[in-house]
């Protein structure tokens, strides 16, 4: 633990409007808890910022005291980089303003907001930003890594809808960046993660969505998965951008529309969201209903906000999580064979493997238009290892890694940076591909000493 003088700490506490936690304070242990229970780190200082002035003060303090710096938004990232040992955490979770202008279709969002916070405000006007699929995810981390979900095939990645951002740089300076101001930094923020500073405000383009969408789940026995996935891959190219279908293989949770004797059995589920006219919903999803003979299905109109929260019960905080991910251009037969083998050896009832469908509008953006480079991915595959007991760590991690390695020959070789664990630094170059060197140049300009290093780190030239 660094030796911070009492005077320095007193000055910090006096200078911020929010809260400052040190290890002996009441509330410290709650403040250092994040979504993934595998992450157990003890910062020297946690500054829960109330506004931009607090962020600037915290950045300056970390730099002046030579402290490792971490940033926490929603606290949901798998790698656990929201925390650090013996350093300073800028906790943005209290900065939760989300202001919607329905006339210009703009949203102004602070970095502590979750998807639920933004959806709540935007859906009051029948508007939405393409976000993720779990409402407790933080908007900031999701956006800075690219961001994709149910609306992305129609409206692009989250970063494709970012119009501007306010950011506190390593020097403590507040900058406003957009296509016409600090354009190089704005380009880098759209996928480059937390490498360049602390974003204190996001401005998004909003789109008419909802308030109801058509969708739900079709759940099949795992012995139908091979044929169902073959039909799925044959259907995706003819799907309209308004339709997104993800596939998930796991043990069946106790969903109310499934017979009790199905609960706990291996299954393949197709999760569907159609944002076109509601009356066209049944026709739009009919092909998915023909992928097999289901255990059960639950399809129909529902509030968009309800669908955004539908998977929250499977992703509650406090469990142990370990992910491995590939970008895919196709679902090859060998990949499907490996999937079936892996589902036959699930180490925990909470583990799952999903194929998140992208393409559509995400693929119609030039690879160098934003830092996010995965424009050729038709699916993002995630091996979601999840369990409760630390005694199961080795077994569950080994299962996740084994499937990842087995499926490497069927993957593009690239990765979605938000799904990388902290041990996967060797994949960062692949994640950004031809955009990596340009990102290094932006890093050299705005953070040459790598103050913002506790992330999927793009190292400046001086430290590479």
**pLDDT value, residue 37:** 93
pLDDT at 464: 60
Bridge partner residues of 331 (DSSP): none
DSSP state letters, 380-406: EEEEEEEES-GGGHHHHHHHHHHHHHH
**Burial letters 107-142, b for 16+ CB under 10 A, else e:** bbbbbbbbbbbbbbbbbebebbbbbbbbbbbbbbbb
Q: Which two tokens stand for residue 367?
A: 């690879």
pTM comes to: 0.96
Domains and CATH numbers, the chain: 6-91 (3.30.43.10), 98-209+437-446 (3.30.465.10), 212-419 (3.40.462.20)
Which spans in 251-374 are helix H?
281-289, 304-308, 333-343
For each successive 10 residues of the chain (464 residues), what is the average pLDDT? 85 96 94 94 97 98 96 89 96 98 98 98 98 95 97 98 98 98 98 97 97 97 97 96 98 94 96 98 96 96 97 92 96 97 96 97 98 97 96 96 97 94 88 96 97 95 79
User: How buried is residue 66: exposed, middle or buried, by Cβ count under 10 Å (0-12/13-18/19+)?
Assistant: exposed
pLDDT at 1: 66
Cα dihedral 10/173/139/160 (nearest 10)? -170
């Amino acid at each position: 633990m660094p030796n911070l003088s009492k005077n320095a700490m007193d000055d910090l506490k006096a200078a911020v409007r929010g809260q400052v936690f040190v290890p002996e304070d009441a509330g410290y242990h709650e403040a250092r808890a994040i979504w993934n229970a595998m992450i157990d780190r003890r910062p020297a200082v946690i500054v829960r910022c109330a506004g931009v002035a607090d962020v600037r003060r915290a950045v300056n303090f970390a730099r002046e005291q030579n402290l490792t710096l971490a940033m926490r938004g929603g606290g949901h990232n798998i790698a656990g980089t929201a925390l650090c040992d013996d350093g300073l955490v800028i906790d943005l979770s209290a900065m939760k303003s989300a202001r919607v202008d329905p006339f210009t279709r703009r949203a102004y969002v602070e970095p502590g907001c979750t998807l639920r916070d933004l959806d709540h405000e935007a859906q009051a006007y029948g508007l939405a930003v393409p976000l993720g699929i779990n409402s407790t995810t933080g908007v900031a981390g999701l956006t800075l890594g690219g961001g994709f979900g149910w609306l992305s095939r129609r409206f692009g990645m989250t970063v494709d809808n970012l119009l501007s951002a306010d950011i506190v740089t390593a020097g403590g300076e507040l900058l406003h960046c957009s296509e016409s101001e600090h354009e190089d930094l704005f380009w880098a923020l759209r996928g480059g993660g937390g490498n360049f500073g602390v974003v204190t405000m996001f401005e998004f383009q909003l789109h008419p969505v909802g308030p109801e969408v058509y969708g739900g789940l079709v759940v099949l026995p795992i012995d139908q998965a091979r044929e169902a996935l073959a039909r799925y891959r044959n259907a995706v190219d003819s799907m309209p951008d308004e339709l997104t279908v993800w596939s998930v293989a796991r043990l069946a949770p106790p969903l109310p529309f499934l017979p009790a004797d199905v609960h706990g059995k291996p299954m393949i589920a197709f999760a569907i969201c159609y944002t076109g006219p509601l009356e066209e919903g049944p026709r739009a999803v009919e092909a998915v209903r023909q992928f097999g003979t289901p255990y059960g299905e639950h399809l129909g109109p529902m509030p968009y906000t309800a669908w955004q929260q539908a998977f929250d019960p499977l992703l509650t905080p406090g469990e142990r999580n370990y992910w491995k991910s590939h970008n895919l251009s196709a679902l090859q037969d060998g990949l499907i064979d490996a999937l079936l083998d892996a589902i036959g050896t699930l180490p925990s009832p909470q583990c799952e493997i999903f194929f998140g469908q992208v393409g559509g509008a995400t693929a119609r953006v030039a690879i160098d238009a934003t830092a996010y480079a995965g424009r050729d991915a038709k699916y993002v595959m995630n091996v979601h290892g999840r369990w409760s007991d630390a005694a199961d760590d080795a077994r569950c991690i080994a299962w996740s890694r084994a499937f990842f390695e087995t499926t490497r020959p069927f993957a593009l070789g690239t990765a979605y940076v938000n799904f990388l664990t902290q041990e996967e630094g060797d994949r960062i170059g692949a994640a950004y591909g031809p955009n990596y060197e340009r990102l290094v140049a932006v890093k050299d300009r705005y953070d040459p000493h790598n103050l913002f290093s506790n992330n999927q780190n793009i190292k400046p030239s001086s430290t590479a």
